[in-house]
Every structure is written in structure tokens, then in C-alpha cells.
A and B are shown apart, each in its own frame.
Chain A
Amino acid sequence: MRVNNLKNNDINIDIAEALRYLGYKSKEIDDETYKSLNESVAELQEISELKYVYRIIDINKKVDNYISFAEEINIKSHDLANLFKNCDKAAVLATTIGFEVEKRIRYYGMTNLSKSIVFDACAAAYIEALCDYIEEEIRELAAKEGCSITYRYSPGYGDVPLFHQAEILRALNAEKLIGLSALDTSLLVPRKSVTAFIGFNKTNEIYKKSCLDCTFYNNCSFTREGGKPCAKYAR
């Protein structure tokens, strides 16, 4: 198990990513939005608490539509069993940028709606960047064992039900270690948080997730050509 706190400037917030969440299709940003973006980024870098915890866990059972992680997390899912078909172990992770961000989003939601959506988008970009950082750490661990890694897979993707968030949090002792818990509707609190699996692939297959794989493909306003998938579930 690894628990870690990062310094806020260890991770950069990608403004282009935030703009994409805001629905910007053009490169031209008006002055006010630009100013608001920069203020939000600076504020987030100041108030966030970047925390994560993960465990490398054995996949002890895997059939066509069922997968079990050390008997602690048991999921009925064809999609995940299929993605992890060449994996004997996986990283299970939980990460958050903290409660102060949650409170600030609420604050701006009540006082300054235009600021709040910009701030929210920047926060989503931040947790996404944090996930990328953790993913790199896990990629190195996997490489030491001669494995590649699958892309990140979170409850709510494909046919994996959201309620598995709770099992993941329990398996990682996430409430105590990073202050992350879930509501009975499986919503993570603070909201700018992620739980996910990353498989260790023995065959060294290289994964590239495409928007075409996504269940929300026909109902998504964030799609784009190539690149990495959206952070819909990070929000």
C-alpha cells in the first residue's frame, strides 16, 4: 500500500483541458474568462490537498463476466474482466484534491456562478492530472515486473456499477487515510475524487482508449479526436 500527499505545484493544471470541459471549441478565449481561469488555477494550487492511496492487489478469480480482487472487491462485469484478461494483478487506487476545493465550489456556486463553472472545470482538470501522475507511478511499478498497464477503469464505466466505490474505499481504508468516503448513492465526497483500477498486463499490450469505446459516446459533449479519454467520472 502506498499513501502519499503531493505538494500542489507538483502537478500542473492543464488549462486547455479545463476549456474543453467548458465546451470551448475555439482557441480564442475572452479576457474575462482567461482571467478567471488563471485565478482559479492559482487558487486551486493554494487550497488543494492532493492525496492518494493505492494497493497492488491480486486478481484471484476472473471468468467471462466476473472478476474478484483478493476476494475483497468482487465485481460482476464483462467489460472489466475482458479488459483485464491478461492481468493477474492490478492497482486499486483512490485519490482526491480535498475538502477545501469542495467547499470553494459550493461557495462560488452560491455567489458567482460564472466563476464557479470555470473553477469547477479547473478542479476537474486538476484531479485528472493527479490521476495521470499516479498512473505514471504505477506504470513504473508494472514495468519492473515486466508488465504494461491497462488504462484506468473506474466504477461507472461500462458495465461496472458505481456501488463498488464503497468496496474500493474500504479495501484501501480511504476514509481514514485520505478522508474520502461515499454517499449511499455512491457519490464520492469530496466530489473531485476518483477511484479506479489499473491492470498489470503480462503481454505488454499497449492500450489506447478511444471515445468510441465509451458508453456515453452518443450523449457526450466532450468528445474529441484521439488523445486520452474525458474526465467525466472525475467530476
Chain B
Amino acid sequence: MLNMLDNNFLFFDGAMGTMLQQSGLKTGELPEELNISNPEIIYNIHKKYVNAGVDIITANTFGANRLKFKDSAHTAEEIITAGVRIAKQSIEGLNNKYVALDIGPIGTLLSPLGTLSFDEAYDIFKEQILAGVKAGADIILFETMTDIYELKAAILAAKENTHLPIFSTMSFQDNGRTFTGTDVATFVSVVEGLGVDVLGVNCSLGPNALQPIVDALIKYSSTPIMVQANAGLPKYKNGISYYDIDPDEYSHEINTMAKKGVAILGGCCGTTPEYISSIINSLDGLKPVAISKKHYTSTSSSSKTVFIGDEVKIIGERINPTGKKMLKEALRDNDLDYVIREAIAQQDTGSDILDVNVGLPDIDEKEMMIKIVTELQGVISLPLQIDSSNSDVIEAAVRIYNGKPIINSVNGKKESMDAILPIVKKYGTLVVALTLDEEGIPKTAEKRLAIASNIINTAKEYGIAEENILIDPLVLTASAEQAAVMETLKAIPLIKNKYNVKIVLGTSNVSFGLPNRKLLNTTYLSIALGYGLDAPITDSTNEALMGVIKSFKVIANQDIDSKDYIEAYSNVTTESTRINSNGDLKEIIIRGLKDEATKASKELLNQYTPLDLVNEFMIPALDIVGEKYEKQEIFLPQLIRSAETSKLVFEKIKEMTLKDGSEVIDSNKILLATVKGDIHDIGKNIVKLILENYGYKIFDLGKDVDIDQILETVQKENISLVGLSALMTTTVKNMELTIKALKATSPQTKIMVGGAVLTPDYASKIGADYYSKDARGAVDIAREVFSK
């Protein structure tokens, strides 16, 4: 069917909902029910579109998923089977007509914005796809999608369960983004990587307002493009909604799109057979404009796409436990906050992409990688580079990644290519290719080129384009192999002249074993950039290295008008009015002077033991803060600022004790969680922070937490106090279930609860041992529990 596009446009039908409303369907009803309750009405609508001349009939299955139909008399499968059958009947006996299984959004959002897991979403789509394929659909159409993560689950479900062509559209607003924030470049980068056959835009706007979206699609896409616009904006009159653009104006705009390169055309809300025949007539005698192949090297998060090649991009290297005691400790302790802070520090200092490596001998790398990637993609807008030596870990992470990640890495060994390249192809990622093979790291630039060629050619056999490969020519250590150091750099132009690949390089190993490493590293980095390095894998929190990159961008005419450079170095003096605390730690905590906490505690740790610091400075300061809060001399933001300041002191203490191996302060354990179904966590986070201040070790399971996960952690960590939070009347039910389960499995564990809709009475009714109205109350409860 797609071969037809060489000479013909493909025409989809227009709206189903609009036609049904004209037939008297109410807005609140499930329109797919009609496939069974009134098939004639659906058949007649299809037939009108067939008579208007469309090539593809969209089955009436948009919302037929198990969640939307949970209260219906029919299953989603029955609805889909009937819907596809009716659509097939409408084209019976006609040549070159097709039926699309129509699949819209599930109707509830995926985690972390909502509570549906990626795997659940996948299962829901899989069920729809299997039913549609069985009923004889010719095309899988995902449309009106607004969440790229949900769309990724849908496309994977299609790819893994059918060979039918996949058409996929999202709905964009006039700011160029979907409701959840995906822009056109990101949409194309992700779904083209996943290998859809047609991509495009539908719904949301009229055809005129969609023109800029169409322009962007044409700019980025190498895949045929489809458009199904609304007939303008919705109006409502006498109980009937209607749209404000007539068929003539509509087809005029669509005609413009077709001439730009859109080849698959149809309608969305408000369009009728009249609109569609008007389009078909207006394109009579014209042929589609072929879509040109683009060769961008792009990696994407859900909301941001980074193009590698035009200017230097920085891949942040800090989330890697090698040689980092604090990070190792954080990973072993499941302290995700620490990892997130590392990520944010890199984002704030100019990293464009973050490398994520969590390989440690004594942890489950796959489980940890999934956990960290899930957390990071909910908070950080930068694309991630999944770094592991284990292909299982890589596949698990890129599968659940919300975007188009980079895989780090493949190399020239056959075994590595056999394991990694299929993953690169299937998930449409970028991949870092190391120039080493069975014989190790080569000595010469030419041999590096040879290995790169081998990897590039093998990748092509898998259908991976050159632009999706990043070659790492591997730096050598000057102290060990000085004669070969320049060979790495010489390989860069050799490789780039021959292939459309980009170059990445970790640079800090060059100085290993020599004094003043900073000097060698910055010099090496600047030479590498001069040789054509596109994306250094480096530490953006290091000012010296960033200085090299920023100045290089000026010299290479990448930082136009030296804007970023001037902003970074013109010595803008701000916040000079900040009051100095004279270094008194108590005062620093009481006034919440976060910027001064680390320095002051570092100095005090020269004179005091960690325990004395806590008892003589921190606790007294926190008590004063608590009193002031009780007396309403200060309010919540100040209380929290003090607590955050005090937490910084704690961290300094921890860093110190890890460094010199002295005894870590032993602490009582408390588990905190927002219950299943609830996504409010500010209250829980406040409680956590305050409890941490009083020295408790917190196991924070986050929000929307499964009961089983709470039970497991309580048993595994032998936890004697659990704090649960719920903010809604509807989720207090899950709190009650959690308490019941806990009481059954760990009867000794005490449970405290809190949240806006709870009262002391209600708390005791659902079986909680304690109720607290705020974080101070939680501290009192903890003291009571642990004094027994």
C-alpha cells in the first residue's frame, strides 16, 4: 500500500464523532458501543466516506480499551472485532481500500505524571492490537496521542505483535508542543527511531494553525507524513458542537500542505465526507512530493532533542560510581536523591546529555538502572546515555526510557556487535562505538579507522544509519603510552572524512598518573575539539574544562556573538547584599543560609567530632527553629529552609566519615510512602526532611507505592516505624488496605499517617497507630516509638 505513495496521495476518512453527534449521540456516551448496539449507523458513516473516495477507512475503535470499557457490557475485544468487521464490510468488493485499526490515548496518564506503568500501558495496547489484527485490520493507526511515552509503549506493542504498517500521529498545540510538552523534533526523532511507517499530526487545531507544525514535520522527518486537521475550532450551539471552517477553506489549506510534502491526508473533529471529497477534488491530477532523507544525529528526552554535530555538546560523566565513594554509598543505600542532585548539578552547569552508569559488583545493576532512569526522566529534561557493559541492562533501560537515548557502548568485537546492534536498531537509539576489537585498543589512527569502518558496515547490515553512530576513538594515558596519544586525535578527521558519524571522547584518562592533571586535561580537550571532537564525555561541574569548551565555541564561531561566553565571564555581580552570618553554624541553620552551611560545617569538623557537631550545634538550632515555628514567628518556607540547611551539614558529616572511615552515626530506620493511587508527595517530603534532620534514616519509597513494595522493604530492612501519606478521600482507601496488609505481615511495626483529609478519629478507624498533623508531630511520634 505504501508503494502507492510514489504516484498517489492516500486519503483517510474524516471525523466519526462529528457524524455520530449529527445522528444524535450524546457527548458523554462511549461511541464505540454502537459497533454492537447499532452497527448500521456506523456502517452508513463509513459508506459515506467510501463514496467520497477515501482509500482508508478508520474503524470505530478509538477508545476501545479495557480501562474505558471496564463498566461496559462488552469487552474491548468484542468492540474492536465488531468495529473492524463493519469497516471491512463498508469496503467489500472494492480494490485498494484498507481498514485502519484506530487506537487513541488510554485516557489516563503514565507514571510519573499519572500512575499507569509503562508495562500496563503496553499490555492494554497489545490487547487492542491483537484483537484488531485477528479481525483483519490492514493498518495500525495510533492517533491524537499527547504523551510520547504512551506512544512509545503503543508502537512497541505493535512492532512486537504484528507486521502491519504503523501510522502514528500526535496532537500539537499552537505553541508547537503536545499537552505534555513534546515538540515536533522530539516526536520525529523518537517515533522514526522506533520505525513507524507514517507519522504526522492530527486534531487539536484547524488546518491553517497547523501549517507551522507541518513545516517542522517536513524539516525533521524522513518518513511519509500524514495530516488530519480539525475543521477549525469547536463552537457549541443548541446542544450541538460545530466547527468554524468550511470545506472550501479547509481543502485550500490541505492543498498547501500537500504541495509542501504531506502525502497522507484526512480529517479530524468537525470534518465530514464533504470536506474529504473537497480535498480529493482539489488534489486531482497532482502527485505527492517525495520526502527527502534527513541525516540528523539526534538524541531526545520526552521534551527536548539534542542535535550532535553543529556545535559542541557536552555529555555529563558524573553518574558513574567508578572512583566515587559518595555515589557508591548512595547507590548501595538506594539514595536516589543524591543521584538526582548529581544530575541536576550537571544540567545546571551546561551538560547537554547525561551518561548513566550504575555498575557496582554488589548491586543488582538492572534493577538499579531501571529505577534511576525512571526517576531521572521524571525530573531532568536532558537526554540520557545508558552506560553498561551488560546488554540485558542496556535493553531494559532503553525500553523504558522516555525518548531516544544513546547506548554506551558497542565495540568492534563480534560478540559485542551481535549483542548490542539489534537493540540499537529495535529501539532506534544512538550508539557509542569504541574503536577496539578482539586485538585490544589499536596503536595507530589508521587501525582505529578500520575498526570504526567494520562497526559502521556491520551496523548497516542491521539497518542502522551512519548518523546514528558516535565513534569514540579511545584516549590513551600519556604516562603509559605517550607515543600513541596523538593517534587518537588523528583518527578523528580520518573517520569523519569517510563517514557521516559524530565523535565522542572521554578525555580525563590522558592525565592519569601525572601531576597537575587539570592542566593536561584542559590542554588535551582543547586539542581534541580542534581536531573535530563533537561531544566530549566530561564533567560540566569542572570550571576549567567548561572554560575550554566555552572558549572553543567562541573561536569556532559556534557561540554566536560570544553571547554565552560573555554571560559566563563578564563578572556580573548579583546578590552582593547577602547578609553574612559570621560563620556561626547555629545562626546559619536558624536563618536557613544554605550557601554558607557546607563551608561552616567543614571548618567546625576540624575542631569537633561529628556527634558533637550534631548535639551542640544542629539539634539546639533545630529546636529553636521548631519553637519559632510553633509560636508563628516563622512559617513553613522558613522552617523548611532551615531543615534543608541542616541537611547540608549532615551531608558534609557523612562525606567526612566516609573519607576517613570513622564510625557513621547509627540511626533508627523509618519508611515513608505516599500510598498507591496518590501522586501528592510534598507533605511526605517535608516529613522526610525534618525526620532526617533529627538523625533518622529514611527509606523513601516515593509516591503511588505498591503495597507489596512497602511490605517487602519493611521486612528486608527490619523497619519499626512506617509513615503513610494520602491526600484524597479516594486514596485513603488504599491507605487502609496498606495498613491492614502491614498489620498482618509485620504486626510489631508501628504506623503513623498524615494527609489533608485525615483526622485523628479517621486515622484510628483505619487502623493506624499514630496520626500527625505535621512534620513536627512526626518527630514526636518517632521519638516515642524509638524510646520504647
In the A-B complex, list the 8 residue pairs whose CB atoms are closest, starting with the nearest. A179-B179, A1-B236, A72-B28, A185-B677, A114-B640, A185-B730, A114-B641, A33-B637
**Given A99-B113, A186-B728, 7 extra CB contacts under 8 A:** A55-B236, A117-B640, A117-B682, A162-B728, A176-B204, A179-B180, A183-B114
Binary A-proximity of B54-67 (CB < 8 A = 1, otherwise 0)? 00000000000001
Q: Bin the interface of chain A by size.
A: 35 or more
CB distance from A121 to the nearest CB of B (A): 9
Binary A-proximity of B166-192 (CB < 8 A = 1, otherwise 0)? 000001010100011100000000000
In the bound complex, residues from chain B placing their C-beta under 8 Å from that of A187 are 677-679, 728, 730-731
Interface assignment of B759: CB less than 8 Å from any CB of chain A: yes
Interface centre among B203, B679, B689 (most CB of A within 10 A): B679
Among the stretches B217-225, B336-344, B656-664, the one at the interface with A is: B336-344
Tell me whether A113 and B640 are in contact (CB under 8 A): yes
- Cα distance A2–B171 in the bound complex, in angstroms: 20
A residues 55-90 near B (Cβ < 8 Å) are 55, 70-73
In the bound complex, residues from chain B placing their C-beta under 8 Å from that of A178 are 179
CB distance from B121 to the nearest CB of A (A): 14
The dominant DSSP class at the B interface is: loop
Closest to A190 in B: B113
Tell me whether A181 and B641 are in contact (CB under 8 A): no
- Cα distance A39–B344 in the bound complex, in angstroms: 19
Interface assignment of B108: CB less than 8 Å from any CB of chain A: yes
CB distance from A41 to the nearest CB of B (A): 14
Binary A-proximity of B710-732 (CB < 8 A = 1, otherwise 0)? 00000000000000000011110
Among the stretches A101-109, A134-142, A143-151, A196-204, the one at the interface with B is: A101-109
| Known contacts A1-B236, A25-B632, A176-B144; A106 and B379 CB within 8 A of each other | yes
Tell me whether B592 and A1 are in contact (CB under 8 A): no
Tell me whether A110 and B730 are in contact (CB under 8 A): no
- Which one, A32, A49, A73, A116, contacts B28 given CB within 8 A? A73
- Which one, B175, B234, B680, B682, contacts A177 given CB within 8 A? B234
Interface assignment of B442: CB less than 8 Å from any CB of chain A: no
Interface assignment of A163: CB less than 8 Å from any CB of chain B: yes
Tell me whether B759 and A170 are in contact (CB under 8 A): no
Tell me whether A3 and B234 are in contact (CB under 8 A): yes
Interface assignment of A231: CB less than 8 Å from any CB of chain B: no
| Known contacts A72-B28, A162-B729; A118 and B171 CB within 8 A of each other | no
In the bound complex, residues from chain B placing their C-beta under 8 Å from that of A167 are 28
CB distance from A84 to the nearest CB of B (A): 19
- Which one, A23, A49, A191, contacts B679 given CB within 8 A? A191
Closest to B28 in A: A72
- Cα distance A96–B640 in the bound complex, in angstroms: 28
Closest to B758 in A: A219
Tell me whether B731 and A185 are in contact (CB under 8 A): yes
Interface assignment of B638: CB less than 8 Å from any CB of chain A: yes
- Cα distance A71–B679 in the bound complex, in angstroms: 32
Tell me whether B379 and A114 are in contact (CB under 8 A): no
- Which one, A55, A118, A185, contacts B637 given CB within 8 A? A118
CB distance from B114 to the nearest CB of A (A): 5
Q: Bin the interface of chain B by size.
A: 35 or more
- Using a CB–CB cutoff of 8 Å, the interface residues on chain A facing chain B are 1-3, 22-26, 30, 32-33, 36, 49, 55, 70-73, 98-100, 102-103, 105-107, 109-114, 116-118, 120, 156, 162-163, 167, 170-173, 175-179, 181-187, 189-191, 216, 218-219, 232
In the bound complex, residues from chain B placing their C-beta under 8 Å from that of A218 are 759
Interface assignment of B685: CB less than 8 Å from any CB of chain A: yes
| Known contacts A23-B636, A176-B203, A186-B728; A110 and B337 CB within 8 A of each other | yes
Interface assignment of B241: CB less than 8 Å from any CB of chain A: yes
- Cα distance A73–B28 in the bound complex, in angstroms: 8
Tell me whether B108 and A182 are in contact (CB under 8 A): yes
| Known contacts A106-B378, A113-B644, A117-B640; A24 and B685 CB within 8 A of each other | no
- Cα distance A171–B344 in the bound complex, in angstroms: 41
Tell me whether B681 and A109 are in contact (CB under 8 A): yes
In the bound complex, residues from chain B placing their C-beta under 8 Å from that of A172 are 27
| Known contacts A55-B236, A184-B677; A176 and B27 CB within 8 A of each other | no
Tell me whether A171 and B180 are in contact (CB under 8 A): no
CB distance from B623 to the nearest CB of A (A): 19
- Cα distance A176–B228 in the bound complex, in angstroms: 14
- Using a CB–CB cutoff of 8 Å, the interface residues on chain B facing chain A are 26-28, 67, 105, 107-109, 112-115, 144, 146, 171, 173, 175, 179-181, 203-204, 233-236, 239, 241, 269, 337, 340-341, 344, 378-379, 592, 632, 634-638, 640-641, 643-644, 677-682, 685-686, 689, 728-731, 734, 756-757, 759
In the bound complex, residues from chain A placing their C-beta under 8 Å from that of B105 are 175
Tell me whether B236 and A2 are in contact (CB under 8 A): yes
Tell me whether A23 and B28 are in contact (CB under 8 A): no
| Known contacts A111-B341, A114-B592, A232-B756; A30 and B634 CB within 8 A of each other | yes
- Cα distance A150–B236 in the bound complex, in angstroms: 23
Interface centre among B637, B685, B757 (most CB of A within 10 A): B637
- Cα distance A172–B638 in the bound complex, in angstroms: 42
Tell me whether B756 and A110 are in contact (CB under 8 A): no
- Cα distance A49–B112 in the bound complex, in angstroms: 20
Tell me whether B108 and A183 are in contact (CB under 8 A): yes
In the bound complex, residues from chain B placing their C-beta under 8 Å from that of A105 are 682
- Cα distance A36–B638 in the bound complex, in angstroms: 11
Interface centre among A73, A110, A111 (most CB of B within 10 A): A110
Tell me whether B27 and A26 are in contact (CB under 8 A): no
- Cα distance A102–B113 in the bound complex, in angstroms: 8
- Which one, A24, A111, A176, A219, contacts B635 given CB within 8 A? A24
Tell me whether B108 and A116 are in contact (CB under 8 A): no
In the bound complex, residues from chain B placing their C-beta under 8 Å from that of A170 are 27-28
In the bound complex, residues from chain B placing their C-beta under 8 Å from that of A23 are 635-636
- Cα distance A30–B236 in the bound complex, in angstroms: 49
Mind listing 9 A-B residue pairs with CB under 8 Å?
A: A49-B175, A102-B113, A113-B643, A114-B641, A175-B107, A176-B144, A183-B114, A184-B108, A184-B677
Tell me whether A113 and B235 are in contact (CB under 8 A): no
In the bound complex, residues from chain A placing their C-beta under 8 Å from that of B678 are 185, 187
Interface centre among A3, A49, A176, A216 (most CB of B within 10 A): A176
CB distance from A194 to the nearest CB of B (A): 14
- Cα distance A35–B463 in the bound complex, in angstroms: 54
CB distance from B726 to the nearest CB of A (A): 10
Closest to A118 in B: B637
CB distance from B5 to the nearest CB of A (A): 29
- Which one, B27, B144, B235, B756, contacts A171 given CB within 8 A? B27
- Cα distance A183–B734 in the bound complex, in angstroms: 14
In the bound complex, residues from chain B placing their C-beta under 8 Å from that of A49 are 173, 175
Tell me whether B340 and A111 are in contact (CB under 8 A): yes
- Cα distance A106–B759 in the bound complex, in angstroms: 27
Closest to A178 in B: B179
In the bound complex, residues from chain B placing their C-beta under 8 Å from that of A219 are 759
- Cα distance A124–B673 in the bound complex, in angstroms: 23
In the bound complex, residues from chain B placing their C-beta under 8 Å from that of A179 are 146, 179-180
| Known contacts A118-B637, A156-B729, A181-B108; A71 and B592 CB within 8 A of each other | no
Closest to B732 in A: A185
In the bound complex, residues from chain A placing their C-beta under 8 Å from that of B203 are 176
- Cα distance A190–B681 in the bound complex, in angstroms: 14
